Chains A and B, each alone.
Chain A
Amino acid sequence: EPEVTQTPSHQVTQMGQEVILRCVPISNHLYFYWYRQILGQKVEFLVSFYNNEISEKSEIFDDQFSVERPDGSNFTLKIRSTKLEDSAMYFCASSLQGIGGYTFGSGTRLTVV
């Protein structure tokens, strides 16, 4: 069964450093997403991306965040200057037809120290 692959599985970074979280969505999917889950809390939407541009973003997705699809297979989330409160599990997801049929990756646990 096709999978969404995320790397790394765990990243530790110093406060103020830039991090890039990487995702390889399912190959024929057209819509891409990032969500985050602070430990023990609900999953929260960050951003959706379609046709090489952001289609929607949440209040959490401020100027410190950016997304990119640098080639035909990768989808990245960059956090420019990490804060302690950015510590969370970050999930990438993709879908073929927009809503419905989302597939989530296993996540990257980001720890900011």
Chain B
Amino acid sequence: QQQVKQSPQSLIVQKGGIPIINCAYENTAFDYFPWYQQFPGKGPALLIAIRPDVSEKKEGRFTISFNKSAKQFSLHIMDSQPGDSATYFCAANDRGTYKYIFGTGTRLKVLA
């Protein structure tokens, strides 16, 4: 119930492609869903986040799609660049707590 399942584990795309990373959860008390980007040796950095009353949120080249009934959400990276190569984590917050439950991460490589 406290898990967030993330797929795929790794992803390789060509420059300009649109990688899609998926996450699924069970706990209906989760009500805030951020995505984090992590470069080697660095801490996770917040990319974009969504609440379940919205089905889509876009910030620059990053878009979250949210399907509340299916309890799934995904990150799309438009016009991906080699500089987007990093590990991406989805996360969820359990309403009434201050902690995040993280997914297992997706290692993205964008080829030049």
What residues make up the interface of A, taking CB atoms closer than 8 Å to B? 4, 31, 33, 35, 41-45, 48, 50, 55-56, 58, 91, 93, 95, 98-107
Residues of B within 8 A of A (CB): 32, 34, 36, 41-46, 49, 89, 91, 93, 97-105
Closest to A105 in B: B43
- The distance from the CB of B37 to the nearest CB of chain A, in whole angstroms, is 11
Q: Which residue, of B41, B45, B103, has the highest number of chain A Cβ atoms within 10 A?
A: B41
Evaluate contact between A107 and B49: CB separation under 8 angstroms: no
Tally of A-B residue pairs with Cβ under 8 A? 60
In the complex, chain A residues whose CB is within 8 Å of the CB of B36: 43, 104
Q: State the majority secondary structure of interface residues on A.
A: strand
CB-CB < 8 A to B89: which residues of A? 42-43
B30 to chain A, nearest CB (A): 11
Collect the chain A residues with CB atoms within 8 Å of residue B101's CB: 45
- Cross-interface CB contact of B102 among A44, A50, A55, A105, cutoff 8 Å: A44
Question: How far is B97's CA from A31's CA once the two chains are assembled, in angstroms?
Answer: 12
CB pair B105–A48 under 8 Å, yes or no, is no
CA of A41 to CA of B89 in the docked complex: distance in angstroms? Answer: 11
In-complex Cβ contact of A104 among B44, B49, B93, B103 (8 A): B44
Between A and B, 19 residue pairs with Cβ closer than 8 Å are A4-B43, A33-B98, A41-B104, A42-B89, A42-B102, A42-B103, A42-B105, A43-B36, A45-B100, A48-B98, A55-B98, A99-B100, A100-B34, A101-B46, A102-B46, A104-B45, A106-B41, A106-B42, A107-B43
